[in-house]
Structure 1
Amino acid sequence: MEARSMSSTNANAAAIRAFRILEIISEAREPLSLMEIVERIDLPKQTVHRLIKQLECAWIVTRNMPDRRYECSSRVRNMAVHMLMGAGPAAARRAILQQLVETVQETCNLAISSRDDIVYLDRVQVNWPLRVQLNPGSRVPYHCTSSGKLLLSFLPRSQREHLLKKLPLRGTTRQTITDLDKLRQELVEVRRKRVSTNNEEYMTGIIAIAVPVMLDRSRACAAVAIQAPAERTTIEKLMTHLEPLRDAANQIAETFR
């Protein structure tokens, strides 16, 4: 009985240590090396390596290319998205989006980064006949959406460059930016102004603007966007809604803290 209890205690300790390693990797702004993880958890290198290998075998962490540093896997990222979509604060975020829609009279959405694309945590449609069906959970590209370009611009430089070099910059419309240098230049302006636009770059006839949901002065955890048909309005007119859009982003930021 005593041996069984000791075995259970050891298993619990290992699980807690493995979870702490996962926390450290998820909190980092860039993938971490083994030694960087060891320094942050204060455990022997051999123990950390064994636990990470177990997490890697279970597809909970993965090693990026080409430097082979550790990051959370798509399995964990998908779980995080589902938790954010169904957690208690999700109701508060939806209420904020609904209020924004009532104010600006256009469709609004909330999106976060999810590895190689972005995903809608929530989306509230305006009551107009002409609208696009993109439900919560839908995934859209970084390079041709207002929320995607915004979230790209706030990534640490090395992480952004790593992502830019592997993204397929496909032209989904005639307006899509497919030149990497041109996209880089736009991202600099997006970060400086803290507002991003989509001028029919993802879907012909659909325009949008987005602002960041800031965790602190330099980290954006999500983007809030207004989306509308180009035949009904313009980017310039959407920009007149920046104040309520930024107010909504600030309110939503509180639900992430």
Structure 2
Amino acid sequence: MKLLEKTIKILDYLSDEQRSVGIAELSIKLDFPKSTVHRILKDLLRYSIVEQEKDTSRYKIGLRLLKYSNSLLRSFDIRQTVKPILKKVCNETQETTFLTIWTND
């Protein structure tokens, strides 16, 4: 398994757990050597992709991923995404479909 694939599996696990996780747990659950998990987490920590709790030394998703998700949300056009779904619903039900977007303006 390539390093990038292992890194993504670690991030997926951290994201799914929604709690801080230790190296031993990651190693057992993902069947990776502890040294590999430690090396990957060390690199992710350096770039704030994960954070390490000082009191427990456990890891969790970091703030840099929030930056990436915010970028995605800013460029995401819900109208284009929903349009084919609304058309399908319209065709199947023979009813008019609408998408309403609330704003704070």
TM-score class, shorter: 0.5 to 0.7
Which has the larger helix fraction? 2
**Which residue does 1:125 correspond to in 2?**
104
* Structure 2 residues not aligned, in runs of 5+: 83-97
59, 81, 86: which is aligned to 1:70? 59
CA shift for structure 1 position 97:
4.8
**Which residue does 2:42 correspond to in 1?**
53
CA gap of 1:42–1:33, structure 2 versus 1, over 3 A, is same
* Aligned residues between the structures: 88
> Once the two structures are superposed, what CA deviation does each residue of 1:16-66 show, in whole Å capped at 9, x if it has no partner?
211221121122121111112112211111111111111112221111243
CA gap of 1:73–1:97, structure 2 versus 1, over 3 A, is farther
TM-score, structure 2 as length reference: 0.67
* Structure 1 residues not aligned, in runs of 5+: 1-9, 99-107, 109-123, 127-257
Q: Residue type of the partner of 2:37?
A: V
Q: 4+ runs of 1 displaced by more than 6 Å?
A: none
> Once the two structures are superposed, what CA deviation does each residue of 1:84-122 show, in whole Å capped at 9, x if it has no partner?
34235x334xx7552xxxxxxxxx5xxxxxxxxxxxxxx
Larger RCO of the pair (alpha carbons < 8 Å, separation 6+): 2
1:7-46, aligned counterparts within 5 Å? 13-46=2-35
TM-score, structure 1 as length reference: 0.31
> Once the two structures are superposed, what CA deviation does each residue of 1:161-210 show, in whole Å capped at 9, x if it has no partner?
xxxxxxxxxxxxxxxxxxxxxxxxxxxxxxxxxxxxxxxxxxxxxxxxxx
State percent identity of aligned pairs. Answer: 22
